Structure 1
Amino acid sequence: MREIEVTAVLPVYNDLAALKRAIPESLEALETIAPGRFELIVAEDGSTDGSTEFVREYEAKDSRVRLLHSDERLGRGRALNRAFAEASGSIVCYYDVDLATDMHHLAELIGAIRDGYDIATGSRLLPESDITRSGGREIASRGYNLLVRTILGSSLHDHQCGFKAFRRERLLALLPSVTADHWFWDTEVLVRGQRSGYRICEFPIQWRQGEGTTVRRKDVIEMGTAIVRLWWRLHVEKN
């Protein structure tokens, strides 16, 4: 059996077109970072577009690929929790299937954990970051992250970038306190990690807005509410 150092996770929901590019490019990048010592888990979350069948066929011909299928929609957070619990690597990471973050940053992401950080995260909002996205999404992102910094006391700049890595044992110790099951998962993990004294590396990235995002207006409203809810849990309930 291969010794696995790195587990990369692709969270997927009706992303067949993106998968056809993401899997081979991921395998190529990971092979240069951890040759023969990695696995790629596709956390497929109730897709109906053929994503499951495509990954299952890939899995049959390449042992480095693993499918984690759910018949029912779990939500981003719960799908990631499941994947990280199933992971074999001591370093776990995930990134968006549209590869919005340039894959040349993957070595830096995993390298930060190798260098002793507990969490590493790409940032679209540092001065050195090179990003392209619509003006409306840029304003919304900066406003959201300002609220997280102000209300939740975070020292980070970008909490929702889908490009993160963790020391697995430290992440698993943190997850029982994380209640978010969808998009807010990213923010809650970073906020709770800071409060627990985790070493976090935030670094600038090259990022391009992908097509067909599944973030909806409803998600944005719920995430704003989630900021207040997490503040209450941290400062009133003292979880």
Structure 2
Amino acid sequence: MSEIEVSCVLPVYNDRDALATAVPRSVKCLETIAPGRFEVLVAEDGSTDGSAEFVAGLAREDARIRLLHSDERLGRGRALNRAFTAAQGSIVCYYDVDLATDLQHLPELIGAIHQGYDIATGSRLLPTSDIVRSGDREIASRGYNQLVRTILRSSLHDHQCGFKAFDRARLLNLLPAVSSNHWFWDTEVLVRAERNGYRIREFPVRWRQGAGTTVRRKDVVEMGSAILSLWWQLHAEKS
């Protein structure tokens, strides 16, 4: 294989069924974007449903597919850190394995890094975004992102969309300061990147809510706590 240009990461935890669709569709899409110069990394995070074994089988048949298995649960943030560190491409990206964000946007995502942006991120909250999700999720998402914009002074609209790309070298320079190990990783990376002068492109996407996603009272409390914790960290770092 020629030198890797693009590394796409699929974070996975007990997603065996979704992988059967996501991996081949990713390969097919990447063949048009970076033919012969890409890899698909599955960051499998302590699954118990056969996800690792399934991907290992795919990897034996196609060298462009790589499995990064963890025996213990790392959490979304640590699993992504591990994957991006192991990636071979100069451009790295990730998206959710349920393909909630339409892969039609992948060329635009990767193209933004080619154009000189340090980070590109899909957004479900721009006026022209095309999204379908339940009312409780919509309210929680808009409320959360408004808090991030107000308290952490971010100019972005959607911090948690699972569809992002990075200049790998620039991302690795940022990661040592990122403390979140799980879902808040996305927000912390974007907020810290903005504060460090990174060029970020946010663009509207077509997004569909996956099955079985709900918002619990515990989630809302954790969201608020994470925002305040990062605000305190940033304030302490400035002092």
TM-score for both structures, normalised by structure 2 = 0.97
Please state how far the C-alpha of 1:222 moved relative to its aligned partner. 1.8
User: Over residues 57-103 of structure 1, what are the superposed CA-to-partner deviations in whole Å (9 max), with x where a residue is unaligned?
Assistant: 00000000000000000000000000000000000000000000000
Distance 2:221 2:48 in 1: 26
Contact 2:3–2:37 (CA under 8 A) maintained in structure 1: yes
SS state of the match for residue 40, structure 2?
strand
Which residue matches 1:158?
A: 158
Stretch of structure 1 that moved more, 50-59 or 213-222: 213-222
SS state of the match for residue 8, structure 1?
strand
SS state of the match for residue 92, structure 2?
strand
Which residue matches 1:62?
A: 62
Please state how far the C-alpha of 1:211 moved relative to its aligned partner. 1.5
Contact 2:137–2:214 (CA under 8 A) maintained in structure 1: no
Please state how far the C-alpha of 1:214 moved relative to its aligned partner. 8.5
Distance 2:37 2:214 in 1: 32
- 1:185 is aligned to 2:185: yes
Q: Where does structure 1 differ by over 3 angstroms across 4 or more consecutive aligned residues? A: 212-220
Query: Which amino acid in structure 1 is aligned with residue 56 of structure 2?
Result: R
Distance 1:8 1:238 in 2: 34
Which residue matches 2:145?
A: 145
Query: Which amino acid in structure 2 is aligned with residue 151 of structure 1?
Result: I
Which residue matches 2:24?
A: 24
TM-score for both structures, normalised by structure 1 = 0.97
Q: Where does 1:205-220 land on structure 2 (aligned, <5 Å)? A: 205-213=205-213, 217-220=217-220
Contact 1:119–1:164 (CA under 8 A) maintained in structure 2: yes
SS state of the match for residue 122, structure 1?
strand
**RMSD of Structure 2 on Structure 1 (CA):** 1.3
Q: Which residues of structure 1 form unaligned runs of 5+?
A: none
Q: Which residues of structure 2 form unaligned runs of 5+?
A: none
**Alignment CA distance shift 1:216-1:57 (3 Å):** farther
User: Percent identity, aligned pairs only?
Assistant: 76
Please state how far the C-alpha of 1:212 moved relative to its aligned partner. 3.5
Q: Where does 1:28-177 land on structure 2 (aligned, <5 Å)? A: 28-177=28-177
How many equivalent pairs are there? 239
